[in-house]
């Protein structure tokens, strides 16, 4: 039992900025004098439309989305997008390129195989997903309708530090690093993100799509996964996840009030730098990913001893540093340090790692 808020290193759902939660709490029973909670509002009401329009505009502003691209919100999380991307974009040539650098890009490729021919442009499975390919290592199919990659591999703790150059529309799963740095959206055909890490409570995906790619869906695409229908109906073909969109708006306001994605990037570098510096100088802990592939959002590390790892996770939790166990398929530890994680949280973690190291040196 904790009396106060703790540092939650969960990979997602994960920490939301405290001012965002406070604002939501203040507005919970009576939003802006409407006499009701946002949860209770009709999505067709004027008050809700204003929330929706503002959230969309804020996302465009935060990521400098060019006029060529549309912002939509869809249900089904990022996993829904694994299917939506293939259903909507595969039709052009019936083929697509996928880089498999972790669990989610693998799942995305598997899903796409149901709807067309998937060519694996790179696969790091046999290297335990500890690496990210260089541009020259990508085996690109000149005939692909699109190239899909996962910008940050949440489970394995690796991140692409460059934007791949490809001869077709670029599609990126940015679930776990969206809003952590500026992105040149014009380079992408489509960006999607499950919102439960850097954006809002779980339950939807934010999608940014080049309008020229809208309207190419396979004929059997379910209406609910159609980008064309979603764009045409401004994300309100059916009842949208109204509260998630409101929460995303609050998070985006917080991002903008705190210096935008440029400031988020600076803080990201401070947090990740502190952790990796400690790990690199530690005689007990070591990083899981290759240095050149390291994620600045999900830091994966281990002592190399499963029992000691478990002890670390347990003792850290008792200190208010929770959810540090690695994903079951990767093992070890994982500290997810998204935008909402205060630098003090990482400092406390590093201090605890130092104490644990001293107490458990062999």
Ligand X SMILES: Cc1ncc(COP(=O)(O)O)c(C=O)c1O
Residues 210-239 that bind ligand X (CB under 6 A): none
Q: Which is nearer to ligand X, 124 or 176 (CB)?
A: 176
What distance in Å separates the CA atoms of residue 342 and residue 361, rounded to the nearest whole number? Answer: 29
Q: Which is nearer to ligand X, 152 or 303 (CB)?
A: 152
Residues 89-108 that bind ligand X (CB under 6 A): 104
In this structure, are residues 227 and 84 in contact, taking their beta carbons and an 8 Å threshold? Answer: yes
194 touching ligand X, by CB under 6 A = yes
State which of residues 150, 209, 261, 330 lies at the interface with ligand X (CB under 6 A).
150
What distance in Å separates the CA atoms of residue 210 and residue 180, rounded to the nearest whole number? Answer: 21
Q: Which is nearer to ligand X, 46 or 328 (CB)?
A: 328
State which of residues 7, 8, 9, 12 lies at the interface with ligand X (CB under 6 A).
12
Concatenated DSSP letters for 124-189? -GGGTT-----GGG----TT-S-EEEESEETTTTEE-SSPPP-SS-EEEE-TTTTTSS---GGG-S
Cβ 339 to ligand X, closest distance in Å?
15
Interface with ligand X (CB under 6 A), residue total 11
Cβ 12 to ligand X, closest distance in Å?
5
Exposed e or buried b for every residue in 83-119, given b needs 16+ CB within 10 A? bbbbbbbbbbeebbbbbbbbbbbbbbbebbeebbebb
Q: Which is nearer to ligand X, 284 or 341 (CB)?
A: 341
154 touching ligand X, by CB under 6 A = yes
Cβ 49 to ligand X, closest distance in Å?
26
In this structure, are residues 38 and 247 in contact, taking their beta carbons and an 8 Å threshold? Answer: no
Torsion sign (Cα): 119, 122, 127, 132? negative
**Closest residue to ligand X: CB criterion:** 77
Three-class DSSP labels, 325-340: ECCCCCCCEEEECCCC
Q: What are phi and psi of 78, to 5 degrees?
A: -70, -30
Letters for 50-79 (x = contact with ligand X by CB under 6 A, - = none) are: ---------------------------xxx
Tokens standing for 71?
A: 């912002």
173 touching ligand X, by CB under 6 A = yes
Q: Which is nearer to ligand X, 70 or 173 (CB)?
A: 173
Q: Which is nearer to ligand X, 194 or 345 (CB)?
A: 194
Q: Which is nearer to ligand X, 12 or 240 (CB)?
A: 12
State which of residues 101, 124, 158, 176 lies at the interface with ligand X (CB under 6 A).
176
Cβ 131 to ligand X, closest distance in Å?
17
Cβ 194 to ligand X, closest distance in Å?
3
In this structure, are residues 93 and 145 in contact, taking their beta carbons and an 8 Å threshold? Answer: yes
CB-based contacts of 356, cutoff 8 Å, min separation 6 = 284, 312, 315, 316
Letters for 309-348 (x = contact with ligand X by CB under 6 A, - = none) are: ----------------------------------------
172 touching ligand X, by CB under 6 A = no
What distance in Å separates the CA atoms of residue 291 and residue 313, rounded to the nearest whole number? Answer: 23
Q: Which is nearer to ligand X, 41 or 85 (CB)?
A: 85
241 touching ligand X, by CB under 6 A = no
Cβ 347 to ligand X, closest distance in Å?
25
State which of residues 8, 106, 158, 175 lies at the interface with ligand X (CB under 6 A).
175
C-alpha 98 chain-centroid distance:
18
Greatest Cα pair distance, the chain, in angstroms, is 65
CB-based contacts of 151, cutoff 8 Å, min separation 6 = 159, 160, 172, 173, 174, 177
Q: Which residues bind ligand X (CB under 6 A)?
A: 12, 77-79, 104, 150, 154, 173, 175-176, 194
């Amino acid at each position: 039992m904790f009396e106060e808020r703790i540092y939650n290193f969960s990979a997602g759902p994960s920490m939301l900025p405290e001012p965002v939660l406070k604002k939501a709490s203040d507005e919970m029973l009576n939003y802006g004098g409407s006499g009701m909670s946002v949860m209770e509002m009709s999505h067709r009401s004027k008050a809700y439309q204003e929330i929706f329009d503002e959230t969309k505009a804020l996302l465009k502003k935060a990521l400098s989305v060019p006029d060529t691209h549309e912002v939509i919100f869809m249900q089904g999380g990022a996993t829904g997008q694994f299917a939506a991307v293939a259903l909507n974009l595969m039709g052009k040539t019936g083929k697509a390129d996928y880089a498999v650098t972790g669990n989610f890009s693998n799942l995305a490729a598997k899903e796409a195989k149901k709807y067309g021919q998937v060519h694996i442009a790179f696969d790091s499975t046999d290297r335990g997903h500890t690496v990210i390919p260089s541009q020259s290592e990508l085996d690109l199919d000149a005939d692909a309708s699109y190239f899909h990659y996962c910008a940050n591999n949440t489970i394995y703790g690796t991140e692409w530090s460059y934007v791949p150059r490809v001869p077709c529309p670029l599609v990126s799963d940015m679930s776990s690093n969206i809003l952590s740095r500026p992105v040149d959206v014009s380079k992408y055909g489509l960006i999607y993100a499950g919102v439960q890490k850097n954006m809002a409570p779980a339950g939807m995906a934010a999608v940014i799509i080049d309008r020229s790619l809208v309207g190419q869906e396979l004929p059997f695409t379910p209406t609910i996964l159609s980008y064309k229908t979603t764009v045409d109906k401004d994300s309100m073909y059916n009842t949208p996840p109204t509260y998630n969109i409101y929460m995303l708006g609050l998070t985006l306001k917080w991002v903008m009030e705190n210096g935008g994605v440029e400031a988020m990037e600076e803080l990201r570098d401070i947090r990740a730098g502190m952790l990796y510096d400690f790990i690199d100088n530690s005689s007990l802990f070591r990083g899981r990913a290759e240095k050149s592939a390291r994620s600045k959002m999900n830091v994966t590390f281990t002592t190399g001893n499963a029992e000691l790892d478990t002890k670390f996770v347990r003792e850290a939790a008792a200190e208010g540093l929770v959810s540090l166990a690695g994903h079951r398929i990767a093992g070890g530890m994982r500290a997810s340090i998204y935008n909402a994680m205060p630098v003090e949280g990482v400092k406390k973690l590093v201090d605890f790692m130092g104490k644990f190291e001293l107490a458990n040196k062999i």
